[in-house]
Structure 1
Amino acid sequence: MRIAEQEHSAIFFPSPPTPPIQNFQKCYLLTLKDGGEMPQLHSRVASILHRPRTHHHHLLRLVPIFNASKTTAFLPQRIARVTMSSTSTPYQDSIYQKEEKDEESIAQALKYHNQTKHNFTNYARGPRGLDWANQPNPFRRYVSAPLLQLLHPNSENFDVPPLYHEVFNSLPSPKPISKSTISQLFYYSLALSAWKSTGFSTWSLRVNPSSGNLHPTEAYIVAPPIDSLIDHPFVGHYAPKEHGLEIRAQIPSGFFGEVLPRNSFLIGLSSIFWREAWKYGERAFRYCNHDVGHAIGAVSMAAAGLGWEVKILDGLGYGELEKLMGLHVFPEFRIPSRPVKGEMPEIEFEHPDCVLLVYPSGMVDFEVDYKELSSAISEFLKLEWKGKPNLLSKEHVCWDIIYRTAEAAIKPLKMLKESIAHPYQSSELINENSYKGLTLWEVVRKRRSAVDMDGTTTMARETFFQILLHCMPTAVKRGGKQSKQVTLPFRALSWDAEVHAVLFVHRVLGLPKGLYFLARNEEHLDELRKSTRPEFTWVKPDGCPNDLPLYELAKGDFKELSKRLSCHQDIAGDGCFSLGMVAHFQPTLNDKGAWMYPRLFWETGVLGQVLYLEAHAVGISATGIGCFFDDPVHEVLGLRGTKFQSLYHFTVGGPVIDKRIMSLPAYPGPSIDA
């Protein structure tokens, strides 16, 4: 082993993998350049130190080598060179190659995240103007695929829904899978909710919100035969404008009941990045994943009204999702080396995001065998896939970093068995009178994104606390802590809560104006206190429920600051309160992998969906804010580095209605659309 003539060295020896490998003699000599008092540590070594559970190396010791004229303490932070000696097995080499690839993927996610931050002096790269002639068609259709029309509501074919706030406590008895219930699921989650017109243009709104109303999210159903709709198992694409299912393929009859539970079906979600990038450029990847989260929340809430549970099958990898939804039929997209413009129809491909298992509530103790499920999905390559995807734009702009980051964040298949169903846990209800007595269906269909706030509407303190209680992932009782995501709709997610909220309280009666923090995973609380400004008080406000981890950081009027931080938008300061969603960021990526990067945005989208519905259920409105100045938000909190990052902003308050815009029914709707 050769020791280079630099000032600091560290020796790492590998611990034996499982199963043990004999004669495992390989070791790393990590040699560091002279960096003065605090040399910089390469991210690969940092990940070894911070990820002992997922790395096959054990740090035995750090060996300081001192210069004759200096005795600097060893603080390793930048690798100059890695020298290897001895031999290794192919198994060992595959481990090192995988770890190297994992580190490169995380580095790409971090590069994207930093490159797409907005700052006071400059915004993330995007189009300098909107090319209206190439605005993407908001409706994907598979030309020549058979379209099965779904039902529209009437007193005979749609069930009486529960009140909105009731589903947070318990679910109704599960309904059977039928043409009626499948119609309801889509009508109250992903369908059109209205058309708007100014006389000069016409556009549609949907039940699920979207950044810029661009709707990059597409939805699929993989289901057994459905009474009165279709007599064989199938893959269908949901067409929201028609409120129908385009039948893409017939699938093997044994798929349900053998590898998936009986009386269950799948909802797949995918993203067309181009739809969002047309307006927002490089930052579009963030917004697409916000929208995936909103769609997960929307499907979960609609399913709850039918007595159904929803869970992401997160053991499946990218390849399985692609085959399951028939997205492998799109032509290969080769990522250019820089942003380019031109005719690129292949850029309109759909990126598979996730698949949701929908099953009757009350079902417990069943496992999904992902090895068996993956084997069954591999047969989908042999299916006859119907329909050709329509062209959305004539010309395109490729922001290459979006596609490199999406590729880096691809999730691999996990060959394991996983228990899916868990007993339902209700959220805490302290003030039923906060709600206006609306049914679940009324709330989800009337949800709108406010375009302006009136700056005068106030909110009762108890209503504010109730909204935040429904934003919590865990039903805390007997002194437990928030962490596991087991309440509606967060129970659809497969990981512990990683997203918190910093709140700018403007007009909540009985609560001082100021800066507050909602800790949605209390395992992070000590770390958050140490990472934020030392002058923050971290005290529970008066009247706050014991089980709500809400803390006052500082009193004061933060109205103007909240506006400046949200790209100078008045809407952030004119509501009752606004907030920034702060994620436990790089430690999560280091611990789990780059595939968690989009999932952190999904979690913010689910949280945002709850805020939308809660606001409408109490009689006001809300809107998501994707444009904010990232690092200035961190500066306000005193955050350094990338341990915590702000990913999404939101505002809740009294809306200003623009009377110049005419509202039209969602169906049948106008014959033209913008």
Structure 2
Amino acid sequence: MTILQFIPNTLRHQTHHHLSPTKKSLCTATTMSFSSSKSPPPTIQNQENSSLNQENVDTKNLITQIIKYHNQTKHFFTKYSRAPHGLDWANQPDPFRRYISSPLLPLLHPTRPESPLYSSLFHSLPPSKPISISNLSQFLYDSLSLSAWKTTGFSSWSLRVNPSSGNLHPTEAYIICPPVASLSSSCFVAHYAPKLHSLELRSEIPSGFFTNFFPEGCFLVGLSSIFWREAWKYGERGFRYCNHDVGHAIGAVSMAAAGLGWDVKVLDGLGFEDIEKLMGVQLEEEMAIPDRPVKGEFPEVEFEHPDCVLVVYPSGIGEFDVDYKGLSLVISGFSELEWKGRANRLSKEHVVWDIIYRTSEAVKKPFTGDDKFVNDPFVSAGVVSGSVYKDISLHELVRKRRSAVDMDGKTTMAKETFYQILLHCMPSGSETGDKERKQLALPFRALPWESEVHAALFVHRVVGLPSGLYFLVRNAEHFDDLKSATRSEFKWEKPEGCPDGLPLYELARIDCRELSKRLSCHQDIASDGCFSLGMIAHFEPTLQNKGVWMYPRLFWETGILGQVLYLEAHAVGISATGIGCFFDDPVHEVLGLRGSDYQSLYHFTIGGPVIDKRIMSLPAYPGPEDDQ
């Protein structure tokens, strides 16, 4: 194989564009309306055709804009995506959003709660538990809370159950819930404050909100992103990472819910305006978008971008429908509610990376109330050998999950373990008999669209499996297209001993340690594990066929896949790390991909961690703690 030949021997460092320190350029900036834009009605006779043509033009322009952002934020061997010259520690964003003067609703701190074995949840969910302060507390404790504090020298920082690129945590969470004894006597919207493991009451909502639209035992979880937290470190590429983190959060919420016998689904018929009103994060004033990156005091960039709302409901409840039109109509009145508290300031000064905010405007999802809510039956994942997992409960596993900083370069993995991990990465499970396509298995079933993400694997240290390049096809409908789009010399053969239900294919037998390292921004961690991978999304066709708002959703899907890889690695006794820094087009070149039909969105590595003994681990919260 000659796929290494295109990589240059000498690499140049990036030259960043200078940031303007003044605020003057904002005077001529465009503005963010934070509302869905609508074209004026056509004035020609055939209004229907005119509207359709205008819609096609608008869609094409938006796709062009998204692809421009995506290409502009790629890393290349000769330069990296635009980012700060160095870390501005004086303006590091506060990792904890608080709503000042909002009433605090303390939650319980579970100590050794009943929790099913992690591996059992992929086969069936336990009986559903009722919504109570105890169960709601455990749900948040096992999904979005702090998991530990780390300290070394004079520095200390917190870790959370839900992963985050750079431990920056741009994702905020809201609970929209019916009355809960010992918590609230009314239906309410509350912000989750992980540092205190408490809810901050934002508003009381109409008493019939849940009884009119959802079955008994349901509540909602809203997720939003603060772009500034990621952009502070990663610049323009931060929008990508925010959406990775949304996906990780959806995965974390889905797994924690499963442990309580609850199912989860994104309410994707709602539009951007619906979810911003539902969570109470709509802006009072428009934000000006500059025409280039600008540095200064811009507190408005600390706003929360509403991403999605999840409905959490008892598993096995059967089919139920959601009246999106009626729900949207009720939510439209939430702007008139009394919203308590004001958001704290995160930084004194900021950098406004203009392209992030233009892109976030372009991908706002409109209301699609004609979409039908589908509660698909739970489908089990495939099994090679359940013995590969430690007898570890979900609660213990999610709270001990960590991102490895380094890997030892010697830990190996049995191929049975490798195959089992990949079976849990499949969206459709094992019971339907159909080819992989629909997302029916845990935790991918939270997403209402068919899978659009695959994985190119660099296998380094899997005993019984030749080192080389492999491909995991997670949507069978893409197989022929992928085979024709990639290098003609690739084998596309099932490896020996691969389970029938696992669509894994060997492409080439090579020692790809150095290759995977170079592709992942020269990071040893990509080559020192048992295997690493790049998540390859069905890209431009998805934007064209499903809508431009699928751009962030593709990253959500990669984040959920990454969440599974994190948990799987820890469940078999090793570790993992998400890799956001990789050279985009060189990855495509290795695979032979051209154009924008497929794009690499996220990398990951799994292997034996190297523990830094200089760093001390402390409990997440004061008092007895079982998850250091």
TM > 0.5 fold call: yes
Matching of residue 382 in structure 1 with residue 339 in structure 2: no
Deviation at 1:154, TM superposition (A): 2.7
Matching of residue 183 in structure 1 with residue 137 in structure 2: yes
Higher relative contact order (CA 8 A, sep 6+): 2
Aligned AA (1:622): A
Matching of residue 239 in structure 1 with residue 193 in structure 2: yes
Q: Distance in 2 between the 1:173 and 1:480 partners?
A: 27
State the TM-score, normalized to the length of structure 1.
0.85
Match of 1:11 in 2: none
Q: Deviations over 1:277-329 (max 9, x none)?
A: 00000000000000000000000000000000000000000000000000114
Match of 1:200 in 2: 154
Which residue of the other structure, out of 203, 225, 229, is the alignment partner of 1:249?
203
Deviation at 1:96, TM superposition (A): 2.7
Deviation at 1:209, TM superposition (A): 0.4
Match of 2:357 in 1: 403
Deviation at 1:479, TM superposition (A): 5.0
Deviation at 1:332, TM superposition (A): 2.5
Which residue of the other structure, out of 289, 292, 299, is the alignment partner of 2:243?
289
Matching of residue 333 in structure 1 with residue 290 in structure 2: no
Matching of residue 261 in structure 1 with residue 218 in structure 2: no
Q: Distance in 1 between the 2:326 and 2:209 partners?
A: 11
Deviation at 1:417, TM superposition (A): 5.5
Match of 2:71 in 1: 114
Match of 1:392 in 2: 346
Match of 1:441 in 2: 395
Deviation at 1:94, TM superposition (A): 3.0
Aligned AA (1:582): I
Match of 2:599 in 1: 645
Match of 1:321 in 2: 275
Q: Distance in 2 between the 1:417 and 1:616 partners?
A: 38
Q: Is the 8 A contact 2:106 2:197 kept in 1?
A: yes
Q: Deviations over 1:169-224 (max 9, x none)?
A: 00000000000010011000000000000122110000000000000000000000
Matching of residue 566 in structure 1 with residue 520 in structure 2: yes
Q: Deviations over 1:10-51 (max 9, x none)?
A: xxxxxxxxxxxxxxxxxxxxxxxxxxxxxxxxxxxxxxxxxx
Deviation at 1:416, TM superposition (A): 1.9
Match of 1:367 in 2: 321
Match of 1:65 in 2: none
Q: Is the 8 A contact 1:116 1:283 kept in 2?
A: yes
Deviation at 1:422, TM superposition (A): 1.9
Which residue of the other structure, out of 448, 460, 471, is the alignment partner of 1:506?
460
Unmatched 5+ residue regions in structure 1? 1-85, 670-674
Match of 1:368, SS state, is coil
Pick which of 305-314 and 103-112 moved more: 103-112
Q: Is the 8 A contact 2:379 2:430 kept in 1?
A: no
Matching of residue 657 in structure 1 with residue 611 in structure 2: yes
Which residue of the other structure, out of 108, 124, 139, is the alignment partner of 2:96?
139
Aligned AA (2:206): P
Which residue of the other structure, out of 145, 170, 181, is the alignment partner of 2:124?
170
Deviation at 1:413, TM superposition (A): 0.2
> For 1:73-84, what aligned pairs fall within 5 Å after superposition?
none
Q: Distance in 2 between the 1:284 and 1:644 partners?
A: 21
Q: Is the 8 A contact 1:312 1:493 kept in 2?
A: yes
Match of 1:136, SS state, is coil
Matching of residue 556 in structure 1 with residue 513 in structure 2: no
The alignment of Structure 1 onto Structure 2 pairs a total of residues equal to 582
Matching of residue 312 in structure 1 with residue 269 in structure 2: no
Q: Distance in 2 between the 1:547 and 1:248 partners?
A: 47
Q: Distance in 1 between the 2:446 and 2:458 partners?
A: 28
Match of 1:419, SS state, is coil
Pick which of 375-384 and 443-452 moved more: 375-384
Q: Is the 8 A contact 2:379 2:431 kept in 1?
A: no
> Which of these two proteins has the greater Rg computed from alpha carbons?
1
Pick which of 494-503 and 87-96 moved more: 87-96
Q: Is the 8 A contact 1:331 1:349 kept in 2?
A: no
Match of 2:322, SS state, is strand
User: Taking structure 1 as reference, are residues 473 and 514 closer, same or farther at Cα in structure 2, changes over 3 Å only?
Assistant: same
Match of 2:306, SS state, is strand
Unmatched 5+ residue regions in structure 2? 1-42, 624-628
Q: Is the 8 A contact 1:266 1:356 kept in 2?
A: yes
Deviation at 1:106, TM superposition (A): 1.0
Matching of residue 357 in structure 1 with residue 311 in structure 2: yes
Aligned-residue CA RMSD in angstroms?
A: 1.3
Match of 1:97 in 2: 54
Aligned AA (2:335): L
Q: Is the 8 A contact 2:458 2:531 kept in 1?
A: yes
Q: Is the 8 A contact 2:380 2:430 kept in 1?
A: no
Deviation at 1:268, TM superposition (A): 0.1
Could you list the runs of 4 or more consecutive aligned residues of structure 1 that deviate by over 4 angstroms after TM superposition?
none
State the TM-score, normalized to the length of structure 2.
0.91
Matching of residue 432 in structure 1 with residue 389 in structure 2: no
Deviation at 1:91, TM superposition (A): 4.0
Match of 2:26 in 1: none
Aligned AA (1:476): S
Match of 1:298, SS state, is helix
Q: Deviations over 1:595-618 (max 9, x none)?
A: 000000000000000000000000
Q: Distance in 2 between the 1:667 and 1:250 partners?
A: 28
Match of 1:601 in 2: 555
